A and B are shown apart, each in its own frame.
Chain A
Amino acid sequence: MTQNKKNIFAKLSGRQIFIPIAALLLLAVFNLILDPSFYKIALSVNSAGDPVLSGYLITILDYGSELAILAIGMTLVTAASGGQDISVGAAIAIGGSVILRVLCGTDSRPEVLKAPIIAAFLVSCVVCMLFGAFNGVLVAGFKIQPMVATLILFTAGRSIAAWINNNELPVISDQSFGYFGGFIPGIPIPTPFFIAVICMIVMALALKFTNLGLYTQAVGINAGSSRLNGLNPAFIKFLAFVILGLCVAVASLIKVSRISSINYSVIAKDIEMDAILAVALGGNSLSGGKFNMAASILGAYVIQFLTTTLYKFNVKSDALSAYKAIVVIALVVLSAPVVREKFSSLWKKMKLHTKEVG
Chain B
Amino acid sequence: MLVKDKSVLEMRNIYKSFPGVLALQAVDFTLHEGEIHALMGENGAGKSTLIKVLTGVYEKDQGEIFLGKMEKAAVIRSPQDAQNLGISTVYQEITLCPNLSVAENMYIGRGKGLCQNWKKMNEDADKILKSLDISAGATQQLSSCSLAIQQMVAIARAVDMDCKVLILDEPTSSLDEQEVEKLFGLMRDLKARGVGIVFVTHFLEQVYAVCDKITVLRDGKLVGEYQIKDLPRVQLVAKMLGKELDDVADIKDEVQVYEQDGSIPPVFEAEALQSNAGIKPFDFHIRKGEVNGLTGLLGSGRSECVRAIFGADRVIGGAVKKSGKAIKISKPIDAMKNGIAYLPEDRKADGIVGDLSVRENIILAAQVLKGFFKPFSKAEANKLADEYIKLLEIKTASADTPIKSLSGGNQQKVILARWLLTHPEYLILDEPTRGIDVGTKIEIQKLVIKLASEGMSVTFISSEIDEMLRTCSRLIVMRDRKMVGELSGAGLSQSKIMDTIAGGDKK
**Residues on A facing B (Cβ under 8 Å):** 208-212, 214-215, 217-218, 221-222, 224-232, 289-290
Contact partners of B371 in chain A: CB under 8 A: 211
A350 to B393, CA, bound (A): 39
Contact partners of B349 in chain A: CB under 8 A: 222, 224-225
Which residues of B320-351 have CB atoms within 8 Å of chain A's CB atoms? 331-333, 336, 342, 344, 349-351
Q: Can you list 9 A-B contacts with CB-CB less than 8 angstroms, sorted by A residue number? A: A210-B373, A211-B368, A211-B372, A212-B372, A225-B349, A225-B353, A228-B344, A229-B332, A290-B356
The 7 A-B pairs of least Cβ separation, nearest first, read: A230-B333, A230-B368, A230-B336, A229-B365, A290-B355, A211-B375, A221-B355
Q: Is the CB of A226 within 8 A of B375?
A: no
Contact partners of A217 in chain B: CB under 8 A: 353, 355-356
| B55 on interface, CB distance cutoff 8 Å | no
Q: Is the CB of B365 within 8 A of A230?
A: yes
Closest partner residue, chain A, to B402 (CB atom): A290
Which residue among B332, B336, B364 has the maximum number of chain A CB atoms within 10 Å of its CB? B364
Q: Is the CB of B373 within 8 A of A209?
A: yes
Binary CB contact string for chain B from 349 to 381 against chain A (1 if under 8 A, 0 otherwise):
111111110001000110111011101000000
- Chain A: minimal CB distance from B344 (Å): 6
| B231 on interface, CB distance cutoff 8 Å | no
| B240 on interface, CB distance cutoff 8 Å | no
Residue tally, chain B, CB below 8 Å to A:
27
Q: Which of A210, A227, A290 contacts B372 (CB 8 A)?
A: A210
Prevailing SS type, chain A contact patch: helix
Q: Is the CB of A211 within 8 A of B367?
A: yes
Contact partners of A231 in chain B: CB under 8 A: 333, 368
Closest partner residue, chain B, to A290 (CB atom): B355
- Chain A: minimal CB distance from B199 (Å): 31
Q: Which of A208, A210, A229, A289 contacts B368 (CB 8 A)?
A: A229
Closest partner residue, chain B, to A227 (CB atom): B332
| B312 on interface, CB distance cutoff 8 Å | yes
Contact partners of B352 in chain A: CB under 8 A: 222, 225
- Chain A: minimal CB distance from B380 (Å): 13
* Given A214-B367, A232-B333: A225 touches B375 (CB 8 Å cut-off): no
Q: Is the CB of B375 within 8 A of A228?
A: no
A212 to B367, CA, bound (A): 11
Question: How many A-B pairs fall under 8 Å by CB?
Answer: 71
Q: Is the CB of A226 within 8 A of B353?
A: yes
Contact partners of A230 in chain B: CB under 8 A: 332-333, 336, 365, 368-369
- Chain A: minimal CB distance from B208 (Å): 36
Contact partners of A228 in chain B: CB under 8 A: 310, 312, 332, 342, 344, 350-351
A218 to B418, CA, bound (A): 14
A123 to B455, CA, bound (A): 55
* Given A225-B353, A230-B365: A210 touches B375 (CB 8 Å cut-off): yes
Contact partners of B373 in chain A: CB under 8 A: 209-211
Contact partners of A214 in chain B: CB under 8 A: 356, 360, 364, 367, 375
Q: Is the CB of A229 within 8 A of B364?
A: yes
Which residue among A214, A218, A232 has the maximum number of chain B CB atoms within 10 Å of its CB? A214
- Chain A: minimal CB distance from B218 (Å): 31
Closest partner residue, chain A, to B375 (CB atom): A211
- Chain A: minimal CB distance from B348 (Å): 9
Q: Is the CB of A218 within 8 A of B365?
A: no
Binary CB contact string for chain B from 391 to 409 against chain A (1 if under 8 A, 0 otherwise):
0000000000000000000
Q: Which of A210, A212, A232, A289 contacts B355 (CB 8 A)?
A: A289
Q: Is the CB of A222 within 8 A of B353?
A: yes
Q: Is the CB of B354 within 8 A of A222?
A: yes
Known: A214-B367, A222-B353, A229-B368. 16 other contacts (CB 8 A): A210-B373, A214-B356, A214-B360, A218-B353, A221-B354, A222-B354, A224-B350, A225-B350, A227-B331, A228-B310, A228-B332, A229-B364, A230-B336, A230-B368, A231-B333, A232-B333
A222 to B372, CA, bound (A): 19
Which residue among A224, A225, A228, A231 has the maximum number of chain B CB atoms within 10 Å of its CB? A228
- Chain B: minimal CB distance from A25 (Å): 27
Closest partner residue, chain A, to B343 (CB atom): A228
- Chain B: minimal CB distance from A276 (Å): 21
Contact partners of A225 in chain B: CB under 8 A: 349-353
Q: Is the CB of A221 within 8 A of B375?
A: no
Contact partners of A210 in chain B: CB under 8 A: 372-373, 375
- Chain B: minimal CB distance from A140 (Å): 15
- Chain B: minimal CB distance from A66 (Å): 29
- Chain B: minimal CB distance from A102 (Å): 31
- Chain B: minimal CB distance from A185 (Å): 39
- Chain B: minimal CB distance from A207 (Å): 9
A232 to B375, CA, bound (A): 17
Which residue among A210, A211, A212, A229 has the maximum number of chain B CB atoms within 10 Å of its CB? A229
A148 to B360, CA, bound (A): 33
- Chain A: minimal CB distance from B471 (Å): 23
Contact partners of A212 in chain B: CB under 8 A: 372
Contact partners of B342 in chain A: CB under 8 A: 228
A270 to B351, CA, bound (A): 41
Contact partners of A229 in chain B: CB under 8 A: 332, 364-365, 368, 418
A208 to B376, CA, bound (A): 10
- Chain A: minimal CB distance from B227 (Å): 43
A230 to B355, CA, bound (A): 18
- Chain B: minimal CB distance from A199 (Å): 20
A146 to B304, CA, bound (A): 32
